[in-house]
Each structure stands twice: as structure tokens, then as C-alpha cells.
Amino acid sequence: MRKAEPGRVHVVGAGLAGLAAAVRLASAGRSVQLHEAAAHAGGRCRSYFDAELGCRIDNGNHLLLAGNRGALDYLERIGALGTIEGPPDAVFPFVDAATEERWAVRPNQGFMPWWILRDRTRVPATKALHYFAAMRLRQADANATVAAMLDRRQTLFRRLWEPLTVAALNTSAERASARMFWRILAETLGRGGDACRPLVPRMGLSETFVEPALARLRLQGAEIRFGSRLKALTFEPDRISELQFDSGSIRLGGDDSVILAVPAAMAARVVPGLVVPDLYSPIVNAHFRCDTPPGAPLFVGVIGGRAEWIFRKRGVLSVTVSAADRLVDLSASELRDLFWRDVALAYRLPSHPVPPARIVKERRATFMASPQQLSRRPEQTTTWSNLLLAGDYVNTGLPATIEGAIRSGFAAARLAINSSNPAFTGGGVNKSMSKANQQHDHALP
Ligand SMILES: Cc1cc2nc3c(=O)[nH]c(=O)nc-3n(C[C@H](O)[C@H](O)[C@H](O)COP(=O)(O)OP(=O)(O)OC[C@H]3O[C@@H](n4cnc5c(N)ncnc54)[C@H](O)[C@@H]3O)c2cc1C
């Protein structure tokens, strides 16, 4: 058994939450050891080579908005701001699969939403009044769903609120928390077009979010261990004393600490009594190997089809369907044919032959953002003074997204840096837990 260096922070899990925590700690001069079970970093946000298609693909299409301040801060810290691209203005092109009607939603710059007053910047067949009705979400109680708060018969619901809910919360409007959707609207459309400008990685998710972070960490002397799977933690009444990995254990010194940045289910397995969201929502992606016409949009939203969002990448057109319960059990060839109809329509391509495709089903892509599941999100501090939690499932106030994961990693790092418990240096450790976790607090050893 090796004894870790004093004052070291062990970050377990090298998804975006763990990477963000490690980057922030390392740049603050802390000694960091990053442990990752897999042979690669990035978790649910990464790229890999697909032998069948003969090219690199992303495990899912991830869209950022210019208002995602956590994600942009992270990219700046790892020197990767130059790896993302997007249109100069906030433009969201749509096509209706039934009528083949096309339009673009164009939120204007500044806080006053002038775009909802003009036909050419708002959704066709809608009125400004319909948009103002969404202010009701602001008063939604904790148990209200999006569908219960908005008028589902309106065109605006079908053509904007519903697709935005599903895309941002990976949850159907019938089940999604109205409060959480309001939070998303407030952070995006509520802050004007500047905050809504869409951004995507120029090359791939790993080239933007993962490889530059690993390079920065190595430069700053962090130790990165792949194939290092945490099996268990050893608990003392008020602290963690040991990390048990498949390959052996690490005893923690009195001022060592742990940021657990593994997915919710894994965290609940190693932390006794921890309550976490336990219902998941699937995402289905289809990657078609084909060229796109010059000047084709970076992405298109499809209303009333099977594909929901289609992204143009290098040599690939890529479909994303969130909250995909109704599609996830279809065969790959069925999905390929269903999606291609929408892709061909959106990008004005021939409907035959259907190009080679890779279908990727993520059955447990993110936790479901329903009111009941949100109440199960834990806070980042625990009753153990040197154990912090990070990940998209902790109580960030945001849905399970890149932005949420990165903010949680930054927050955990800040707590580790500022806290005054023996493992840390500085302020105090906040032991607040979410309601669900407070109820289970007594079960903690
Ligand atoms: C298909 C898909 C599409 C998505 N689209 C979007 C989008 O458009 N926009 C957006 O913002 N978000 C999107 N998301 C969500 C986003 O990817 C996640 O919220 C985010 O990546 C979660 O990061 P994380 O670090 O919390 O968790 P993870 O990425 O799950 O990272 C956890 C890490 O811990 C490691 N680990 C697990 N167990 C152990 C162990 N015992 N010991 C050591 N390591 C362990 C895992 O291997 C993993 O690397 C999408 C997700 C998916 C799956």
C-alpha cells in the first residue's frame, strides 16, 4: 500500500466534472491525482474512431451556447477556446417534417426580446402574446411539469417550447420540471441573443473538451491514472481514510481529500446512504457518413419528424433524439431509414441510397429532469470532511449538461481550495444536503 503525498486532492472520474475539478485545482497549485476507470477520459462527452464508418465520431451531439459561462471558462483555462465554432449570431434553423416549411428563430442581441414581435425572427403562425404566456413558468411550483404550465395546443408549444424542453432537459415536456425549464430559459433566451449563440466543437468533443485538459494537467504536474477503478472508500466517523482501487489501495494523509466525480449510480454504490436521481432518459444518435452541400447550416431542428436535431460535422451528418424512449428499442436498420428521411429533407439530399450509418443508443444518457428526480440531487459536500461530490447529477440547479458538469467540478475544486477542514486550507465546509439526502442523513455511518 502506498501512502499518498500530503495535501493531495484525489479526483475520481475523468468526465467533464472530474476534468474541470482537476484543472482548477492544478492551476491553483494543488497536487492532483486523477483516477479514471476507463482507458480514456471524457466519460459521456468524448470522440472515438468508428471502424465501420472509417472516421472519428462523437459519442453524442453536444451543443453549447455562448451563455454557458462555466464551459467557456473551462475552455479558456485549457487553451481550447479556439477549437469551437458557431454562427456570428443566434440563429436556430428549423424544418417541419410534415409540411416541409422552413424557418429560423433569431433572438436579437440585448435583453429586450424584439425578435418575438417580428414574423421573420419568430416561429411562423405564432403571436407575441404566446411567448409572454411562458412567463407563467416563473411561478411554477416544485412539482409542476412543463406540459402542465403551457398551452399544449399552441403552435408555439409544438414548434419551440417542447423541442427546447426535450433538448435541454432530455426529458419529455409531460415529465420535465417547469422550474428547471424556466431556469434554462432565463439563462439563455432571457439573456438575449448573445447568450444564445450556438457553439460546437470544430473537430470533435475530445479535441475540444478532453485532450487539451489532459495536456494542461500533465504540464501542471498532475498525475493521471487510466484503468484505475475505484471499488470502495474506507470511512472513519468524520473522514475518508482510504481509496480502494481494483489495483490496490491508497491511504489518505490527514490533509488529503477526495472529489468523487463518478456517475450518480457509482457514487451511490460507494457512499453509504447517498440518495441520487435513479431514473434515466435515453438519447439515440445516428451518424451518417456523407458529404454535405457547401454552406449547409451547422445544425437543423426537425419538428414532427423522427430526428430532432441534425448536426453537420466533417464528413458526417449526425442525428440526436433526446428522451428517446419510443425509439430506443427499434433496430439499427429501422432507425437508419427513419432518420435518413428527415436528414435528406433537412439538408436537401437525395432520399436514396441511404448512406452508411452508425446508430448509438445511450439508454442511461442522463437522469430524468422530473420534479421528483430533481429532489434526489445531493449537495456537493458530505458528512465526511474530506469527501466532495461532483458530476452532472449533483444539485447544480441546471439539468444534466456539459455546463452543469463543469460548474460542479469547479465548485468542488473551490470548496477543496477554500475549506478549512484539516484536509483543506481556508474557509468552512458547508454540510448542507438536499431534502432527500437530509432525510437519509441518519443512515450515514
Ligand atoms: C448521447 C449524449 C448526448 C448529450 N448531449 C448533450 C448536449 O447536447 N449538451 C450538453 O450540455 N450535455 C449533453 N449531454 C450530457 C453530458 O454529456 C453530461 O452531462 C456530462 O458529460 C456528464 O459529465 P460527468 O463528468 O458528470 O459524468 P461522466 O461523463 O459520466 O464522467 C464520469 C467518469 O467517471 C468514470 N468512472 C465511473 N466509475 C468509476 C470508478 N469506479 N472509478 C473511477 N472512475 C469511474 C467514468 O468512466 C467517466 O469517465 C449528453 C450526454 C449524452 C450521453
Question: Distance, CA 365 to ligand 1 centroid (Å)?
Answer: 8
Which ligand 1 atom is nearest residue 403's CA? Answer: 11
Query: Which pLDDT score is estimated for 432?
Result: 36
Average pLDDT over every residue of 51-74? 94
Q: Please name the residues in contact with 162: beta carbons below 8 A apart, sequence gap of 6 or more.
A: 146, 152, 173
Q: Which residues pair with 319 in a beta bridge?
A: 286, 310
Give the chain's mean pLDDT.
92
When pLDDT is averaged across residues 411-434 and rounded to a whole number, the result is: 59
- Ligand 1 binding pocket includes 378 (Cβ within 6 Å): no
Any atom of ligand 1 within 6 Å of the Cβ of 67: no
CA 138 to each of CA 65, 134, 193: distance values in angstroms, whole numbers, following the listed order: 22, 8, 20
pTM of the model: 0.93
Dihedral of alpha carbons 191, 192, 195, 199, sign: positive
Give pLDDT, residue 161: 98
Q: Which helix (H) or strand (E) holds 360?
A: strand 357-367
Long-range contacts of 345-349 (CB under 8 A, 24+ apart): 345/95, 345/97, 345/100, 345/302, 345/305, 346/95, 346/300, 346/302, 346/307, 346/310, 347/292, 347/293, 347/296, 347/300, 347/310, 347/312, 347/317, 348/293, 349/290, 349/292, 349/293
Distance 373 CA to ligand 1 centre (A): 18
192 lines ligand 1 (CB under 6 A): no
* Stretch 326-349: mean pLDDT: 97
Percent of the chain with pLDDT over 70: 93
Spacing of C-alpha 125 from chain mean position:
32
400: Cβ below 6 Å to ligand 1? Answer: yes
d(CA 397, ligand 1 centre) in Å: 17
State how far the Cα of 122 lies from the Cα of 126, in Å rounded to an integer.
Answer: 8
Mutate which of 36, 44, 214 to test ligand 1's pocket (most atoms within 8 Å of Cβ)?
A: 44
CA distance 126 to 130: 7
pLDDT of res. 294: 83
Query: Judging by DSSP bridges, how do beta strands 55-58 and 47-50 pair with one another?
Result: antiparallel
Query: What is the structure's pLDDT at 422?
Result: 46
Three cell numbers, residue 13: 472520474
pLDDT of 6 reads 55
**pLDDT tens, position by position, 218-247:** 999 999 999 999 999 999 999 999 999 999
